[in-house]
Copies of this chain bind each other. A is one copy, B any other.
């Protein structure tokens, strides 16, 4: 695994960083390294993109964690906590514009300097489920 680019945001510290893209109005940029820029062709047709990246400030993990939105312990894989055995993050952001290898995005929820692993187009036919149950999240102690 090697970064294909870097995500720039205004968030310099974990405590400042929004919990999820849907809770962020932050604008940022995705810089795709020039050798990969050819892979961005046609991406501007998509309003939303999926970013896969490294939680680069996560170095240890526990199998039981308290998520940001709850006061109870849950299994790590039943949460979106950033400290994981493979610290890969995944965010769906709005693509505002593209200028060559630079994507301007909205809804950024990652630290400035986050290493980018992949970009995929967000496609509701693939990525939306209905009739969903959300366990502890539906009963969470914080909104």
Contact = CB atoms under 8 A, between A and B. Distances in A.
Given A46-B133, A52-B90, A90-B50, A77 B126 contact: no
Interface size class of A (residues with CB under 8 A): 35 or more
A110 interface: no
A129 B137 contact: no
Given A47-B133, A134-B46, A36 B121 contact: no
Contacts of A90: 50, 52, 90, 120
Number of copies of this kind of chain in the complex: 2
A56 interface: no
B121 A86 contact: no
B22 A126 contact: yes
